[in-house]
Amino acid sequence: MERIVVCLVLLAFVFSHSEQIGAENTAHPRCTEYSVIVDKTYIHDKNAYTQGLFFYEGEFYESIGQWGESAFRKVKLETGEVLSEINYPEDVFIEGSCVAGGYLYVLTWTNHKCYMYDLSTMTKLSEFSYPGEGWGMTTNGKELIMSDGSSRLHFLNPASFTRIRSIDVKMNGADVQYLNELEYIDGKIWANVYLQDYIVIINPGTGEVEGKVDCRNLLPSSLRTSRTDVLNGIAYDRKDGGIYLTGKYWPRLYKITLKEKGNKK
């Protein structure tokens, strides 16, 4: 009888311990929350409906949306001066952009096309078709990474624009919808969430959100007008590690650093 009791106790312990391990394995990773510290402020074109923002070899670029206003620009960071520009027809609505393999890729919203250019001359080389909508785009150096307004990110072959794989982005187990402008920073994907004043930092392997960046009040109320639109635009300068944020029709661009919430340092 004593042996039976001992066996039952051992079985109960093993069962409860295995349940605990299973729960730990299915638990979602901790999402670290950050606030932003503004290190430097720059002039930004308040008439620019920012869709894509990035640095390449130390130069600053921006793609701009809206029907009849869409453009891709090389911009002088210090002054906001437009150094060169591609303008698009009124029936083209430009979205995210990035450079991969030395070539420029520019998405469209509902035109179902991605344009490919020689960046040095801004000469169009090719165009690719894709289903659904185009929102944000970045690169991990090997693949293009594209958002379509849903909670999914798509990894694409830059040579053919064919889809290699997709991930579902989740924060604390819930889908993160309306993923917009993207930037690849230190092995993670940063994404604007349309209509929200925060940025999510995504693990590209799992789709889990590992960080949430609070950008409320980044643009002060004194600089807002009836036309000022949402937070959108993330650029990373690999030369100095600088991170830059702006928004649609924002008059300012900000170089920022992160501060973990709850950390007094």
Task: Look up the CATH number of the domain holding residue 62.
Answer: 2.120.10.30
In a domain, 141, yes or no: yes
In a domain, 180, yes or no: yes
In a domain, 7, yes or no: no
What does residue 43 show for φ and ψ, rounded to 5 degrees? -70, 135
pLDDT bucket at 27, cuts 50 / 70 / 90: low
Burial 18-38 (b: 16+ CB within 10 A, else e): eeeeeeeeeeeeeebebbbee
Instruction: Give mean pLDDT, residues 207-215.
Output: 98
Number of H helices, E strands in the chain: 1, 22
In a domain, 20, yes or no: no
In a domain, 2, yes or no: no
Locus of tokens 């509902």 = 110
Share of the chain above pLDDT 70, in %: 88
So what's the pLDDT on residue 261?
86
- 202: its two tokens: 């995504």
In a domain, 129, yes or no: yes
Whether 181 shows a pLDDT value over 60: the answer reads yes
In a domain, 167, yes or no: yes
Q: Domain limits at 170? A: 31-260
Number of domains in the chain: 1
CA distances from 110 to 164, 183, 225, 231 (A): 22, 21, 28, 21
pLDDT bucket at 30, cuts 50 / 70 / 90: confident
